[in-house]
Chains A and B, each alone.
Chain A
Amino acid sequence: MPAVSKGDGMRGLAVFISDIRNCKSKEAEIKRINKELANIRSKFKGDKALDGYSKKKYVCKLLFIFLLGHDIDFGHMEAVNLLSSNKYTEKQIGYLFISVLVNSNSDLIRLINNGIKNDLNSRNPTFMNLALHCIANVGSREMAEAFASDIPRILVAGDTMDSVKQSAALCLLRLNRTSPDLVPMGEWTARVVHLLNDQHLGVVTAATSLITTLAQKSPDDFKTSVALSVARLSRIVTSASIDLQDYTYYFVAAPWLSVKLLRLLQCYPPPEDASLRSRLTECLETILNKAQEPPKSKKVQHSNAKNAVLFEAISLIIHHDSEPTLLVRACNQLGQFLQHRETNLRYLALESMCMLASSEFSHEAVKTHMETVINALKTERDVSVRQRAVDLLYAMCDRSNAKQIVAEMLTYLENADYSIREEIVLKVAILAEKYAVDYTWYVDTILNLIRIAGDYVSEEVWYRVIQIVINRDDVQGYAAKTVFEALQAPACHENLVKVGGYILGEFGNLIAGDSRSSPLVQFNLLHSKFHLCSVPTRALLLSAYIKFINLFPEVKITIQDVLRSDSQLRNADVELQQRAVEYLRLSCIASTDILATVLEEMPPFPERESSILAKLKKKKGRGNLPVIDDTRRNVNGNVEHAEKTEAPNQVSTPSFTDLLNLNSAPGPGGNLLVDVFSDNAALSSTDVCEENFSRFVCKNNGVIFENQLLQIGLKSEYRQNLGRMYVFYGNKTSTQFLSFTSSLSVLDSFSPQLNMHVKTVDPVIEGGAQVQQILNMECVSDFTEAPVLKVQFRYGGMLQNLAVKLPVMLNKFFQPTEMTSQDFFQRWKQLGAPEQEVQKIFKAKLPMDTEVTKAKIIGFGVALLDRVDPNPENFVGAGVIHTKSIQVGCLLRLEPNAQAQMYRLTLRTSRESVSRRLCDLLSEQF
């Protein structure tokens, strides 16, 4: 008999759904829905009290409408009534509505909590389960506050039913995720660990999930779980499948529990106890052995379940990274899967092997599968699998196979899916650089990259090749020759023109001896591309031309003619025009010596970490990138090269801007002469300016950013958890800024802790004018990351990009609190738990002046409390941080030591994250 009989149920609901399904058009559907919404609304508002059945029917209709993607803004009250009913059907539908539709900050939460409380205390397991489900699904702070202390009690009580225990464990897990500070640790933790021994495997599974999460946070408290998990795992692995009856899934004994236990063990290092360790090794060996046994069923579910356990066991082996034999066996097993007919297994094998590649024991073993992986790249039909193959090739690459792998990746790139091209380009660029033995290969590879996938070569990549060429004089001649040859192609990518222009401008002289690449030939070649290029590239080429004048006096006349032509001198683009005028003038009036000084070869770039790697990391997100820079395999000692930075742009700038006195207008033109790059530098300046950030910790107004073009000033005011900031943009030039936009982004992709609302500004800022932008903000909960203001505008035809970290910090939401000495110390003691206190001892960076310190503490937002500390030298303060969700009381004490020129700063608040953040902020101020 089916568990749900189709006949009964709500006819009204069925009719409504049928109506909707019969609607011929979207409009008809919306019309029908609106009619129904009106009907339900009037029913809910009507005088006649509705019976539970009707309420249930209407709530079901609302749920259906919601699923179709329509807003539901009423019915919540009725749902709350339903869940308070003592009829199961009504209660159940009420809970369903709440957990689907109610968001965490609903006004009704108090009423809902009341209902939940009654059900939790009802001792009716069904009701308790419904209540626990609701808490877990909504997971709001208010609920955590109300129930976090009850749930551990339910979980470990002796008389709790198994199904309730299961729900309680997961509910607690959920609350621990959403509001970890509210879940009290205590004596229950020890008893939770013992749930691993429970009779009921469902309870064990739920408890394992809970313990895994808790153990990640405080491994020491749950250490005992290792021995219990190994014992449990061993019993499952060695059992005949029939022992576990219902928990056997397609002839595999308790696969989910095994997976969870293996996950839990990945929170810890290999067990130190020898017998425990050997028992675990035995388990892992058994799991590996089972993979070789003939399948007990042909069904895919059987092999899935078996392999789920196997892959998790391999993860654990990789995590422990201590048993060479197991690692190699794991690698061989994965090697088998690489050729399996199941696509899922090939996918997972590639993914797991990526992890194996970074272990010193198995790196070599992984490399033996290179041909298979390369083959996968060529033949797999599924882009997800091909992408994993690329990842694995990247992870297994070392100096011995770099050339082959890079070549294969380049071949694949020719017809790779668009969605993963940019990533492959970055990977190739990194590998080519990291494992370059001779840099001619490196240069070839990057030029190939540009040829094959020019559109996907980001600026970082071509900047990088230029940095490397400039820093390594053994490759400069070769680079010049190669770009010269590459530029011969009738159609070449603009990125190649950029690289070519830059390199020939710097090192064209190295190949000028050959009559086939004489200065004039070089110039004509570059200039033949000029008209097809965009403005920034043309600007770069103009700079290359002036460098040519210095390198090759014989082409001076030709180049001057080009610069003098109307299309340059009267170019509509201000930047190009300015460059043409300045370069022409420079070439006419400056003596050879001056010219040689001004247009000297670029100095080497400072050695920095590759910005490409940073870009790849950002693109892939944390954790997904196999680590290839670990020292173990760092065979290439000198791979770290320069990063494109601002430093060279500014080298010796002032000396010749004075000298020439050519440009009255401030701006990039001023230091363009040396560096053909600088316009691109402006474009790529993704570096966030934080220079003045810390100056705003204790004050609200001032100038946060200033360069030659633009000044950004701030004025801000805060009240409780709300704030408003006025941002003033001042145009310091006499020219308009066009397409001016400014927007906010938070460094941490998404921050629900701080709501910000920005009013848009006028896209034009006249020369010398100032415009104001208003920014409203609301602090939802405590936060660390400050928002970043991104400003973009065109000045003289060139896009300017800048990013400024806005001084919105947690302490801005302080309200000072006055209190007496007695109150202060009483509260100080209450906040005595180790995680509530954060202390820092640091050296004074500024002169120790009492009055200045006082002003800063008041500026920080707390009340400065007089005559509280027995030592008059010390400063103490108190305040409350206001956020939308909570208020956090905060006490601070600053103890200066004039002799040692040191300070000790102590913060106590009820939340660790708050204490830490405040301490970090304030300690930078003295």
Chain B
Amino acid sequence: MIKAILIFNNHGKPRLSKFYEHYSEDTEQQIIRETFHLVSKRDENVCNFLEGGMLIGGSDYKLIYRHYATLYFVFCVDSSESELGILDLIQVFVETLDKCFENVCELDLIFHVDKVHNILAEMVMGGMVLETNMNEIIMQVDAQNKMEKSETFIFQSTRQDR
């Protein structure tokens, strides 16, 4: 089972955090910091797996991560998940984001947190892998966007926004 999915940048600023087990807000922030600390001190070219930090459950859990340009994508999983499978899942996630945002960059994650959550929800649900087929995921996201468009169109004419 996936216990948490975290995205943060090279400075440790969280860009997405999704916990599939309940923690207090405080603990969640601590876990993010701890994970950043563990992952960021590792060299490039070392392996993509390491034992989880104390807060997330220690050596019974693994952190599986990938580092793309300015962002770290970290999945914290228990022993029932295949390490390489999760690594590929991160790749699918990123490729999907890339398709949805057209060359995804850190700013997209910042300004469209809700969208990123929706895309992730199409892939992982309650800590389990829901869908791994990128076309299927994008199809769902497209369908959502269409619905959104049709709804916003109706009352987008006059709005004072702030």
Q: Is B83 an interface residue (CB 8 A)?
A: yes
Return chain A residues, CB-CB under 8 Å to B48. Answer: 344
- Taking the closest CB of chain B, its distance from the CB of A12, in whole angstroms, is 5
Other-chain residue from B117, B126, B127 in contact with A96 (beta carbon distance below 8 A): B117
Q: Which residue from B49, B84, B121, B129 sits with its C-beta under 8 Å from A209?
A: B129
Contact status A384-B51, CB under 8 Å: yes
> Are A202 and B88 in touch, CB under 8 angstroms?
no
A205 touches B22 (CB 8 A): no
Contact A4 B85 (CB under 8 A): no
User: B125 and A136: CB pair below 8 A?
Assistant: yes
- A344 to B138 Cα, complex, angstroms: 29
In the complex, the chain B residue whose C-beta lies closest to that of A209 is B128
Within 8 Å CB of A304, what residues of B? Answer: 84, 87-88, 91
Decide: B128 and A173 in contact? CB cutoff 8 A: yes
Q: Which of B13-44 contact A (CB under 8 A)?
A: 14-18, 20, 22, 25, 29, 32, 42-43
Q: Which residues of B contact A246 (CB under 8 A)?
A: 133-136
- Of the candidates A163, A173, A247, A344, the one whose C-beta lies within 8 Å of that of B84 is A344
Q: Are A174 and B127 in contact (CB under 8 A)?
A: yes
List chain B residues, Cβ under 8 A from A163. 140
The answer to whether A11 touches B161, judged by C-beta atoms less than 8 angstroms apart, is yes
The stretch among A164-172, A754-762, A873-881 that forms the contact with chain B is: A164-172
A96: chain B residues within 8 A (beta carbon): 114, 117-118
Q: B100 to A2, Cβ gap below 8 A?
A: yes
Interface size counted on chain A using CB atoms at 8 A = 85
Contact (Cβ within 8 A) A6 B108: yes
CA distance A96 to B118 in the complex (A): 8
Given A263-B80, A308-B82, A385-B47, do A88 and B151 touch, yes or no (CB 8 Å)?
yes
The A-B contact count (CB < 8 A) is 205
Q: Which of A513-553 contact B (CB under 8 A)?
A: none
- Minimum CB–CB distance from A97 to chain B (whole Å) comes to 9
Which residue of B is nearest A250, CB measured?
Answer: B88
Most buried by A among B60, B127, B132: B132
- CB-based contact B136/A103 at 8 Å: no
- Distance, CA A89 to CA B148, complexed state (A): 6
Closest residue to B98 on the A side, CB-wise?
A2
Q: Does B46 contact A (CB under 8 A)?
A: yes
Binds B, one of A323-331, A561-569, A615-623: A615-623
Q: Are the CB atoms of A170 and B79 closer together than 8 Å?
A: no
> Which residues of chain A from 714 to 761 have a CB within 8 Å of any chain B CB?
none
CB 8 Å contact bits of A749-787 with B (1 = contact, 0 = none): 000000000000000000000000000000000000000
12 more CB-based (< 8 A) A-B contacts, given A104-B22, A167-B130: A3-B100, A6-B101, A10-B161, A15-B162, A53-B152, A92-B114, A171-B125, A206-B128, A246-B135, A344-B48, A347-B47, A381-B45
B46 touches A343 (CB 8 A): yes
For the complex formed, measure the closest distance between the CB of B148 and the CB atoms of chain A, giving whole angstroms: 5
Out of A3, A72, A311, name the residue touching B82 (CB < 8 Å): A311
Q: Across the two chains, which residue of chain A brings its CB closest to B159?
A: A53
**How far, in angstroms, from A621 to B17 measured CA to CA in the complex?**
27
- Cα-based distance from A170 to B115 in the complex (angstroms): 22
A811 to B117, CA, bound (A): 44
Chain B residues with Cβ under 8 A from A680's Cβ? none
Residue of B nearest to A103 (CB): B22
- Find chain A residues with CB under 8 A from B60 CB: 621-624
Question: Judging by beta carbons under 8 Å apart, are A255 and B121 in contact?
Answer: no
Residues A63 and B113 in contact, CB atoms below 8 Å apart:
yes
Residue B136 contacts which of A57, A202, A385 (CB distance < 8 angstroms)? Answer: A202
Select one of B51, B126, B136, B141 contacting A171, CB under 8 A.
B126
A9 x B162 contact (CB < 8 A) = no
- What are 15 inter-chain pairs, A to B, with CB distance below 8 A? A3-B138, A4-B112, A8-B156, A9-B111, A12-B161, A14-B111, A60-B113, A69-B14, A89-B152, A133-B126, A166-B130, A174-B127, A202-B131, A343-B45, A624-B60
Whether A137 lies near B84 (C-beta < 8 A) is no
**Minimum CB–CB distance for A116 against chain B, Å:** 14
- Whether A348 sits at the interface, judged by CB under 8 Å, is yes
A711 in the interface, Cβ–Cβ < 8 Å?
no
Question: How does the 8 Å CB contact mask read for A2-27 relative to B, with 1 for contact and 0 for none?
Answer: 11111011111111010001000000
4 nearest A-B residue pairs (beta carbon) = A136-B126, A308-B84, A174-B126, A382-B46
Residues of A within 8 A of B51 (CB): 384, 387
> Given that A170-B126, A343-B45 are known contacts, is A305 also in contact with B84, CB under 8 Å in the complex?
yes
Nearest chain-A residue to B86 (Cβ)? A308
Shortest CB-to-CB span from B26 to chain A, Å, is: 8
CB of A464 to closest CB in B, whole Å:
24
Given known A-B contacts A6-B101, A69-B25, A308 and B85 have beta carbons under 8 A apart: yes
**Which residue in chain A gives the minimum CB-CB distance to B128?**
A170
Contact B88 A255 (CB under 8 A): yes
| 0/1 interface trace, chain A 44-55, chain B, CB 8 Å (1 if under) | 000000010100
B80, chain A: closest CB distance, angstroms: 7
A445 within 8 A of B: no
**Residue-wise interface mask of A (256-271) relative to B, using a CB-CB cutoff of 8 A (1 in contact, 0 not):** 1001000100000000
Cβ-based interface call for A312 (8 A): yes
Q: Is the CB of B159 within 8 A of A4?
A: no
Q: What residue of chain B has the Cβ atom nearest to residue A93's Cβ?
A: B114
Could you tell me the distance between the alpha carbons of A126 and B145 in the complex, rounded to whole angstroms?
Answer: 12
